[in-house]
Each structure stands twice: as structure tokens, then as C-alpha cells.
Structure 1
Amino acid sequence: MFGQEIPYSMSDFYLNGSATFRDDTTIMITDNLLEQTGSMWYKDDIDLNEPFHIELEIFFGCSDGGADGITFILHPEWSTGSTGEGMGVGGLNPSFGVEMDTYQNFHLADAHFDHVALMANGASHHKLGLTEPIPLHPNKGNVENCTFYNVKFDWNPASQIFTFEFNGVVRIRREIDLVNLIFDGNSNVFWGFGSATGLRRNKHLVKIKKLEFTPNETLTDEDREALAAGEVYTLPELEFEAGSADLPYSARPTLDKLMRFHQDFPDHTIILNSFTDSSGEESSNLRISTQRAEAIANYMISKGFAKEKLIYYGNGEVNPIDDNETEQGRKNNRRVEVIMKVIKV
């Protein structure tokens, strides 16, 4: 049994790196250019305690000597892995990847044919794989031939069976405890695709056909209860680059859920408080924290959130919640807190 069939549009996917939208159903993850790396992610996370079925068509390019391939990825956050042989998943830990590899890196124990393998935690060497590489085509044929191939990914949590089907033929069917073996008990992950080129290249396209799963469209019960009670809620997955106020893509799913939650509390105002650690000048910290809060507010307003229901402040390095003498403490202090309350004028 599968989750509900999901109506989708291209606006439901967030793109990183070289990935671009081609039309209403197709995303190009890499163009036919050297040293490209991209990824695409569905906006909401899913619960691996529920089944999923993802069906699409994949285009691996037109050059048999091209590189590098496409990976289906499960990961707790939106990220893009390493270029080239990493195929957009290299180094992502923890992660689960279905590596559809079209270039033979023999130092990674690659097969001499276009192959598929289940990989864990961003590893590229097949000695660390969950399965051995097997041919994408049953006859070991070339798939970089200007053709779209039908590909299906199925997960059955009751049996813990993951199935990969290529062009109507099951190529991998494996029992695996994804939640505990890969994600250390965390069942909530995002799904997406990564791809990369290196010193060889190919165009890599993904065309969505059918999605069946149960998306986590709302915040957790604990987070919703805290917000409804007017308590402080700290936005997760909010890793701004050092000195930058560019909103990380990884923050957008949580902000989208926050806005959906607010629809049930139209009389409430959302208050954003941005903080930094104590590194750098105090005046600079105050400025960058204000710019980061403004970046979040601008994103929410661009998605249709009412401007008059949003207040934001930059607080710089004041009110630390941890020790600024340690790296982890500084990371904890770099945060954005959310409070929802009714403001009477």
C-alpha cells in the first residue's frame, strides 16, 4: 500500500547549484557542461514509517563517454554533495542514495557498465555500498543515448523492502532498516535527486510522472503546541553562511510550514528575533542579524504572508543561550527565534 497520490507543480521543488526548471514537469540538474553540481528537493519532508512510490523519467545524456550520473537521495536536510564522481550526494551524512552511475571510476570499484547501487552516507566507493553495482540495463547496455528511461522507487516500511525499477524491470529489491541503520532512528527525511559532471559531462534531466507518499506538511505536534502557547520556537536548519544574509534553501520548508500553521491563527502576529554569536564587532553583529531577519521576512512576504502580521528584529550578540567560547556554543547562539502572539493596538 502507498500513501496518497500527490498533485504537484514545479513550485513544489527547490533547486540548488546548477539545477534549473525546463518546463512544467522537467528539471535539468546539470547541463552538458563541465564541473556542474546540482540537486532538486521536494518541499516537505516525509516519514519513513509511511510508504512511498516515486515514478519519473530520467535522461542521462547523449554521450557514452560522458559523466557522471544521477542519484536518488534521502537526507534530513536540503543539501548538495560533491561534484564529479560524488554525483551530488558525495559526503552527505547521514544519507541513503540510489546511485545511477554512467561513468566508470575504477578507483571506486565501479562496474565496467552503466550501473545502479544502493549507497549510504555519501560514500562513493562500492566497498562501502549497501549493494554491489548491477547493470541498469539487464543486458549491460548504454543508457547515455538521448533517451528518457522510466524509473520507480518504492518503499514498504512494513516489510522494510526498498525496490528500484528501471524501464519496467526490477533491478534492486532489498530489505533494509532505513530509519535505524541509516538515520539513527530519525524517520523524517527529505527526498530529492543530485547529479554532477566533472572533467566529463552530460545533460541530466528528471521528469516527474507520479508521486505517492504522505508529506509532513505541518510542524511537529511539539512545535505547534509551543507556538500556540506563545512560547519561543527556534527555527531549525537555519545555517547562514558566515557574514551572509542570503536565506539558506534548507530553511524554506520550515518557513513554509510555519506560514501554513499561522493560517489557523489569523489574529496572531509572528515576531522574528535574530541573534549572532560574539565573534566580530558588536555593530557588525547587530547589522547582520537585522539583515538575516529581514531576509526571512522578505521570503515569507514573497510567498503571500501578510506584511502587517510580521515583525522582525536584529539583536546581534545579546542574550546568548550557550558559551561563546566553544564552536558548538557559538553555533547555538546563532539562531532565529519565533514567537506568535496577539498584538492589540
Structure 2
Amino acid sequence: MAMRTTLFCLSMLLPVLVSAQFKFIGDAQPMDNDCILLTPDVEYREGIAYHTTRLDLSNYFEVQFDIYLGDKDDMGADGITFVMHDDVRGYQAYGTWGECIGYGRWSPAAGSGHSITPSVAVEFDTYQNYRQNDPPSDHVAYLENGVSLHETYWNNGDGGFNMEDDYMHDFRFRWDPDEQLITVFLDGQIVYKGKRDLINDVFGGATQVIWGFTASTGRKHNLQYFCLRRWAFAPDLVPADRH
């Protein structure tokens, strides 16, 4: 009962958390609807928002957001990433903008360009960039250690999959340390599920990680923002069929 009360109280405090407990880089800023703007619908913009409370990888958690990726498909770009990191730059960590969406770098062997590392990220990519092995459609991909190039992705098996549809999309990230299992949901569907020893294999033993969102636009652009909806810290508070 105490845990359920904690969850209820947290939901009541979300507007305060949004306005007071994020650190911003670039164009990111609070919005009037208790959401966080990442990029305006303007070319060559970038934004990052990091929450000031770190996530503890030694404990179970699930975080839930509404994400908005714009209303222009062919003329929209570039997307957003949800990131957890332990980069030495802390709340000033950023990656290469444009096609790397403020998270990664041009390629794993790139000698130039910034990246956020050590880290894991979920990329919501809305523009095809051949150097990152992007399909023609919008897609979701799991990334690590500031590398934007990905071999696998999810687009619902649809070559015309579009997330820039002027709708909010329900995104959930779940971490189960006992199973070492990452589960990512988009609009109620599992779009990524994988086992990984995040603490030891990615973060070198660190358990406390900074989390937030990165985003950018290029010659093509969209309004992009997110809204924090829910945290949960025990499996019994997050039924599998709730979305």
C-alpha cells in the first residue's frame, strides 16, 4: 500500500518535476502543458533535457512518456533519443547533432564528432541517413555508447511507418536488474527486448545514471517534445497490459 501511495504522490508532483528538475541544453525548455520542448519546428536546432534525479540500475524501474515527433513526414527530421548515461561531462554531455540526434557520432570509427558515452539509448529516428544504416521509414533502434550506426531496428515491418503523424505516442522503458532485461514499448507494442548486464558491461560498475532526451533538426525539421507521465519502481505497479 505504501508503494502505491508513493506512485500516486509522484503523479501529483509531475508538473513540479517538469518545471524544476530538468537541466537544459540548446533549445530545450519547459512548455505550458507540463511537457518539455526539445526542438521548435525550425531548421538546424538542437535540444537536450536531463532530469536531475538519477536512475538506479540496481533496482527495477519503468518510466513512461508521451512523445511528439511532429506533423511533417517527408519534410520532417531528425528525431529524438531517450538516453541513460554516465558520461564524465554529466549534465553537459551531448553528441553530434543532425543525423546523430545529439546522442552519437557519425560512425563507430569516427575520429571527430561528439558522443555520449558510456550510455544506452532508444532512438526514434524520423529521417533516413544512409551512413547510420537507416531504412526509408521512421524507426526505433536500441543504441549503446554513443554509436548511432545500427544493424537492427523496428518499424513494425512497414516500409511506410510514420511517427510524424501529429499524434502523441506512448513510450515506456522498463529495466529489470534481476533478469538483466530491457523492454521498450511504443504505443503498447514491444519494439525492443534484450538481455544486457548494463551495470558491468556498459557502465563499468556504476549504478547511478543520468537520464533524459536528446533531439535535433536539420534542413528538414519538426516540432519535437516529450511529457513525463509515470515512474514505477516495482513490477506489481506496472501491469503488462497497461499502456
Q: Counterparts in 2 of 1:77-226, with a 5 A limit?
A: 77-78=90-91, 79-90=93-104, 91-127=115-151, 132-135=152-155, 137=156, 139=158, 140-213=160-233
> What root-mean-square deviation, in Å, do the aligned CA atoms of Structure 1 and Structure 2 show?
1.9
Structure 1 spans left out of the alignment, 5+ residues: 215-345
1:225-261 CA distance string (max 9 Å, x none): xxxxxxxxxxxxxxxxxxxxxxxxxxxxxxxxxxxxx
- Counterparts of 1:208 and 1:138, CA distance in 2: 28
What is the match of residue 300 of structure 1? Answer: none
The answer on 1:43 being equivalent to 2:52 is yes
Q: Secondary structure at the match of 1:181?
A: helix
Q: Could you tell me whether the CA contact under 8 Å between 1:46 and 1:213 is conserved in 2?
A: no
TM-score, L = length of structure 1: 0.57
Q: How far did 1:190 drift?
A: 0.9
Q: Could you tell me whether the CA contact under 8 Å between 1:70 and 1:193 is conserved in 2?
A: yes
1:258-285 CA distance string (max 9 Å, x none): xxxxxxxxxxxxxxxxxxxxxxxxxxxx
Aligned residues: percent identity?
31
Q: Could you tell me whether the CA contact under 8 Å between 2:139 and 2:161 is conserved in 1?
A: no
Q: Counterparts in 2 of 1:1-345, with a 5 A limit?
A: 5=7, 6=10, 7-8=13-14, 9=16, 10=18, 11-65=20-74, 66-76=76-86, 77-78=90-91, 79-90=93-104, 91-127=115-151, 132-135=152-155, 137=156, 139=158, 140-213=160-233
- The structure whose residues are more often helix, as a share, is 1
Describe the shift of the 1:12–1:213 C-alpha distance in structure 2 as closer, same or farther (beyond 3 A): farther
Q: Which structure has more RCO (C-alpha within 8 Å, separation ≥ 6)?
A: 2
- Counterparts of 1:63 and 1:24, CA distance in 2: 22
What is the match of residue 241 of structure 2? Answer: none
- Counterparts of 1:200 and 1:181, CA distance in 2: 36
- Counterparts of 1:74 and 1:162, CA distance in 2: 12
Q: Which has the larger radius of gyration?
A: 1
TM-score, L = length of structure 2: 0.80
- Counterparts of 2:220 and 2:145, CA distance in 1: 24
